[in-house]
């Protein structure tokens, strides 16, 4: 198989600097640590970034997605090495920007640099290659011998090798002693009669707000003043916020009248945000907030960035959040 390795920096490519680990290992050097893969496949390498993933933002997401799109016709699969801290955001962003993928795009990285004897980088790279070999299509994350849909990956551990969890959706594949077991072969329903859809635009004016009991309503005035066009709000439990003492509901009404989209997800990692259960959830629905169902916060935030480039109409945004594009949300009708 013909595989492209795109490197962007991160821990996997880091070495000790004057103040701690910094990305320093080139794509060629990184590939040399798994040179045995070249005995089975033809692997090309390209360094497109060399950054700590904390600095990888929407501009870099668009750069990565664009390079993947350019390279797709020439390769059977593409591996992107990336820092773990924001990998879930980047994988989600690329998932929305590149849809109807009939090839494997696998993000991976490591908790320990690749030149460290205790590294997990080699296993993660081998797992990424296995995903391509086994024809797992779409954007995925390979980590700790698991293949996770890119829009379902969440980093759950700062130091453990099981750094990523597949939230509210099972893994797409896992590596066991007898090889890889594939549970699903694509992150979405493919239309083989249509080409890959590349929509590189992202709205950068999206704010993520995690509520704290006692959050001041005036926070929303600041969001308006700063020119944000959308907010993803992490609420309590299945869908709660306070309106006693400090009334947040009136501010949500104000945002709606100003045409600012408010998408709501739960602070809980697992299961869905369901605004139909409690009175407070019904009050939120009356303010025309957009339920994110069982989406991860990372996927919800990036989906809003992507959706806002297509429409500012709040009803149409609601329709988009009620649509499963790349396996990011379960609506009771998933068939892949």
Per-residue confidence in pLDDT tens, the chain, 336 aa: 999 999 999 999 999 988 999 999 999 999 999 999 989 999 999 999 999 999 999 999 999 999 999 999 999 999 999 999 999 999 999 999 999 999 999 999 999 999 999 999 999 999 999 999 999 999 999 999 999 999 999 999 999 999 999 999 999 999 999 999 999 999 999 999 999 999 999 999 999 999 999 999 999 999 999 999 999 999 999 999 999 999 999 999 999 999 999 999 999 999 999 999 999 999 999 999 999 999 999 999 999 999 999 999 999 999 999 999 999 999 875 545
84 counts as catalytic: yes
42 is catalytic: no
DSSP tally for the chain: helices H, then strands E:
9, 18
Structure confidence at residue 335 (pLDDT): 45
CATH entry 3.40.50.1170 includes domain 2-198? yes
Helix orientation angle between 297-307 and 87-97, rounded to the nearest 10 degrees: 40
Domain segments of the chain as ranges: 2-198, 206-321
Residue 51 host element (H or E): strand 42-51
Asked whether the beta carbons of 108 and 79 are under 8 A apart, the reply is yes
Separation between Cα atoms, residue 191 and residue 100, nearest integer Å: 7
Annotated binding site for substrate: 53, 84-85
- Is there a shared CATH topology between the 2-198 domain and the 206-321 domain? yes
Query: Considering only CA atoms, which of 281, 280, 228 is closest in space to residue 255?
Result: 228
Q: Which of 7, 8, 84, 119 is catalytic?
A: 84
Please count the residues of the chain. Answer: 336
CA distance 86 to 29: 23
Measured in whole angstroms, the distance separating CA 289 from the mean position of its chain's CA atoms is 22
Nearest alpha carbon to residue 161 among 106, 114, 119: 119
Q: What is the pLDDT of residue 155?
A: 98
pTM given for the model: 0.97
* 206-321 CATH: 3.40.50.40
Output the known binding site: 53, 84-85
What's the rounded Cα separation, in Å, for the pair 173 and 131?
8
Report pLDDT for 17.
87
Closest Cα to residue 325, out of 139, 152, 99, 153?
A: 99
At residue 333, the pLDDT reads 57
What is the CB neighbour count within 10 angstroms for residue 177? Answer: 4
Q: Which of 7, 8, 11, 127 is catalytic?
A: 11
Q: How far apart are CA 16 and CA 8, in angstroms?
A: 17
């Amino acid at each position: 198989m013909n595989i492209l390795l795109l490197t962007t920096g991160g821990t996997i490519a880091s070495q000790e600097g004057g103040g701690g680990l910094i990305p320093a290992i080139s794509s060629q050097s990184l590939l040399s640590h798994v040179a045995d893969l070249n005995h089975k496949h033809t692997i090309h390498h390209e360094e497109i970034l060399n950054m700590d993933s904390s600095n990888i933002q929407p501009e870099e997401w668009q750069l990565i997605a664009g390079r993947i799109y350019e390279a797709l016709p020439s390769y059977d699969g593409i591996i992107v090495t990336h820092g773990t801290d924001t990998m879930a955001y980047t994988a989600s962003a690329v998932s929305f920007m590149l849809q109807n993928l009939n090839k494997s795009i696998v993000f991976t990285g490591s908790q320990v640099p690749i030149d460290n004897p205790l590294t997990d980088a080699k296993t993660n790279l081998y797992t990424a290659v296995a995903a391509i070999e086994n024809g797992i299509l779409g954007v995925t994350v390979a980590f700790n011998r698991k293949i996770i849909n890119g829009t379902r990956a969440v980093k759950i551990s700062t130091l453990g090798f099981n750094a990523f969890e597949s939230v509210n959706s099972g893994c797409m594949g896992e590596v066991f002693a007898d090889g890889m077991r594939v549970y699903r072969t694509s992150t979405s329903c493919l239309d083989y009669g249509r080409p890959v859809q590349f929509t590189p635009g992202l709205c950068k004016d999206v704010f993520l707000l995690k509520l704290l009991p006692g959050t001041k309503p005036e926070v929303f005035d600041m969001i308006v003043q700063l020119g944000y066009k959308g907010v993803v709000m992490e609420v309590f439990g299945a869908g709660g916020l306070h309106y006693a003492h400090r009334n947040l509901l009136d501010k949500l009404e104000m945002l709606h009248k100003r045409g600012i989209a408010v998408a709501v997800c739960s602070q809980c990692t697992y299961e869905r945000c369901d605004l139909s259960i409690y009175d407070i959830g019904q009050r939120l629905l009356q303010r025309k907030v957009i339920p994110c169902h069982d989406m991860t916060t990372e996927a919800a935030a990036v989906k809003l960035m992507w959706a806002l480039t297509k429409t500012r109409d709040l009803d149409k945004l609601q329709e988009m959040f009620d649509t499963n594009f790349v396996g990011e949300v379960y609506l009771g009708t998933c068939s892949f």
